[in-house]
Structure 1
Amino acid sequence: MSRPPTFTPPPCARPRALATTRGTFAVLEGQPAGAVRGTVLLLPGFTGSKEDFIALLEPLCEAGYRAVTVDGRGQYETDGPDDQQAYAQDELARDVLAQAEAVGGPVHLVGHSLGGQIARAAVLLDPAPFTTLTLMSSGPAQVTAAQQQKIKLLSDALAVMGMDQVWEAMRALDPPEDADIEGAGAGTDNGRTDGRTDGEDLRRRWLRHNPAQLIATGRQLTVEPDRIAELAAVRPLPKHVLSGERDDTWPVSLLDEMAERLDARRTVIAAAEHSPNTDRPHETAQALIAFWDAQY
């Protein structure tokens, strides 16, 4: 679970409801003070939310990029049904196409982890709305065996326990220093003093996720096929693979190989792990800006 540094958006951004042909989504929208160079759509990962990109909004706006970060259906402040079928990857990908249309494309698409695989699926359905694609800490296929086991434990718990009970169980099991585990919700924060989000914000976010969404998307992470050859064939679409220098969800060496297969720009953020957007937001923002600026 990513730990955003705060749940309060910077002055350049505001929360709003994004109405689309597939429903209304909660977003944070960052607006540059001057001319707009481009629009960015950012998709969070498993157990995450739009706030995972909150530290990127100010530097992106200062560079002239309008940035819209989204809670997908069933994530945090976007409602979703209790039917797991509603969270099939194809459905979530069609949501992204509708979001891109609503914000006014073409857009630079960024997906973190699970969000990267949903972004990939959206591009494979229709690449036309997208100027570029950045896969952030998002691998070519299923997550590691260790993460698959954690996701199974989480899904089993969600099937028989309430969200509040699962939260307390995660707090008891996971050491607080484990900030970024894709599956079983590590990264609970119990009174940190290092400027990171406190545990109540994270708990509130967790409780508002729809468990059907978590079970369905968790399953996707454990069975996702390798679709890199399909994605590589989507041209012309500049691609970017960005990650931290360590990652326990997909090995960094696998991300290196994926970038080669995609003929993509490759960025490794030093001193960052699975969530460079929260671990090293300034460096991550500068890497994204450099990639987008190179397209103009």
Structure 2
Amino acid sequence: MSRPPTFVPPPGARAYRLRTARGEFAVVDAPADARAEARGTVLLLPGFTGSKEDFNPLHEPLAARGYRTVAVDGRGQFESDGPADDESAYAQQELALDVLAQATALGTPVHLLGHSLGGQIARAAVLLDHSPFVSLTLMASGPAQISAPQQQRVKLLRDALAVMSMAEVWEAIQAAELPEETDTGTELDAGLDDRLDLRRRWLSNKPAQLTATGRQLCVEPDRVAQLAALPLPFHVLSGARDDTWPLPLLDDMAVRLRARRTVIDGAEHSPNTDRPLATARALADFWDGVTPGGDG
């Protein structure tokens, strides 16, 4: 089970709204450490029911390696606005176009990283236009739909959202003592402040976004062959245990992509919060080896 994220940005990071051609998106933007050689910019996409805060533990260690990191709330996630009831606004292509607009707004080629659902959105963005990106890292994000047990969890959530308010669904989750394991990393033993932040994040998510992206997770086709045809370096990173996409699927995807494959010992579906220092080290090692021309 994953650790809950910390909602306090690291020292030096700035929380603001990134203006793009497709609207404003809430971000946490952490500059590279001034004492390190500047190595590049990274755009970080969170997973289903997650948010930009899921990457807070990575900012400082990546800054020390020379990387500016920009974590973003996608449309309808936490502090980024979006329609509450229009599921068409959250079609995968719409979310992918948002990512391309975010990369353009940053004004520099970026390393793109997507966690879980964020990985599938990142993949869709790269397939639309790979030119803004220096590399793609898929973190705990598999080749196609999520596992059958996780599909059932998402179906239960979608059914609940159809008849209950966000607050009622949150209370039902807590009463059932069933933490959200798919992406959020909620834990029942989280401290009071963490619980309050997690509840605030949950209530801020747009129901249509959760319903639409939950459906995507359950029907996503395998697009690995299309991705492998692109001239980009790839990295497949995961914990040593993952119930959302079993490790053999991730191993096989890495082979098909000719990607670097990293398994973080002691981590599960959210290595960014389970083992942030080891995860940051593996990410920076990969990016350090990627040339600006896109050859690994």
Q: TM-score with structure 1 length normalisation? A: 0.94
Q: Deviations over 1:250-269 (max 9, x none)?
A: 00111000000000000000
User: Which secondary structure state, in structure 1, belongs to the residue aligned with residue 76 of structure 2?
Assistant: coil
Task: Provide the C-alpha distance between the structure 2 equivalents of 1:215 and 1:156, rounded to a whole number of angstroms.
Answer: 9
Letter in 2 for 1:241: V
Change (3 A) 1:149 1:226: same
Question: Counterparts in 2 of 1:169-184, with a 5 A limit?
Answer: 169-175=172-178, 178=179, 180-182=181-183
Deviation string, structure 1 residues 31-75 (Cα, Å, up to 9, x no partner): 123252100000000000000000000011111101000000000
Tell me if 1:294 matches 2:296: no
Q: CA deviation at 1:190?
A: 5.0
Question: Aligned to 1:214, what secondary structure does the other structure show?
Answer: helix
Report SS of the residue matched to 1:249.
coil
Q: CA deviation at 1:188?
A: 4.4
Q: 1:22 aligned to 2:22?
A: yes
Distance 1:99 1:2, change over 3 A: farther
Among 118, 127, 130, the alignment partner of 2:133 is 130
SS at match of 1:282: helix
Cα distance in 2, alignment partners of residues 165 and 179 from structure 1: 15
Deviation at 1:192, TM superposition (A): 3.7
SS at 2:144's partner residue?
A: coil
Cα distance in 2 for partners of 1:203, 1:97 equals: 30
For the 8 Å contact 1:45–1:112, the answer to whether it is kept is yes
In the other structure, the counterpart of 1:94 is 97
1:245 partnered with 2:240: yes
Preserved CA contact (<8 Å) 1:174 1:186: no
SS of the equivalent of 2:182 reads coil
Contact kept? 2:243, 2:269, Cα under 8 Å: yes
Q: For structure 2, list consecutive stretches of 5 or more residues without a partner in the other structure.
A: 292-296
- Provide Cα deviations, 1:205-257, integer angstroms capped at 9, x if missing partner: 0000000000000000000000000000011x000000000000000111000
Contact 1:42–1:69 (CA<8 Å) still a contact in 2? yes
1:61-210 correspondence runs (5 A): 61-82=63-84, 83-175=86-178, 178=179, 180-182=181-183, 187-192=186-191, 198-210=194-206
Query: Do the aligned partners of residues 269 and 64 (structure 1) sit closer, same or farther apart at CA in structure 2, a change above 3 Å counting?
Result: same
Give the RMSD, CA atoms, in angstroms. Answer: 1.6
Is the 2:4–2:187 Cα contact (8 Å) retained in structure 1? Answer: no
- Aligned to 1:289, the other structure's residue is in SS state helix
Count of aligned positions: 288
Distance 1:92 1:159, change over 3 A: same
Residue matched to 2:279: 284
Q: Note the alpha carbon deviations across 1:108-139, whole angstroms, 9 max, x for none.
A: 00000000000000000000000000000000
TM-score, normalization by structure 2: 0.94
* Alpha carbons 1:20, 1:102 under 8 Å: kept: yes
Task: Identify the residue that residue 54 of structure 1 maps to in structure 2.
Answer: 56
The answer to whether the aligner puts 1:259 opposite 2:258 as a matched pair is no
Which residue in the other structure is 1:213 paired with? 209
CA–CA separation in structure 1 for the residues paired with 2:33 and 2:158: 44
- What SS is found at the alignment partner of 2:99? helix
Q: CA deviation at 1:191?
A: 4.7
Q: Equivalent residue of 1:242, what SS?
A: strand
Whole-angstrom distance in 1 between the partners of 2:185 and 2:276:
20
User: In structure 1, the residue corresponding to 2:122 is in which secondary structure?
Assistant: helix
Q: Identify the residue that residue 265 of structure 2 maps to in structure 1.
A: 270
Cross-structure match for 2:294 = none
Question: Cα gap change, 1:270/1:191 in structure 2, threshold over 3 Å: closer, same or farther?
Answer: closer
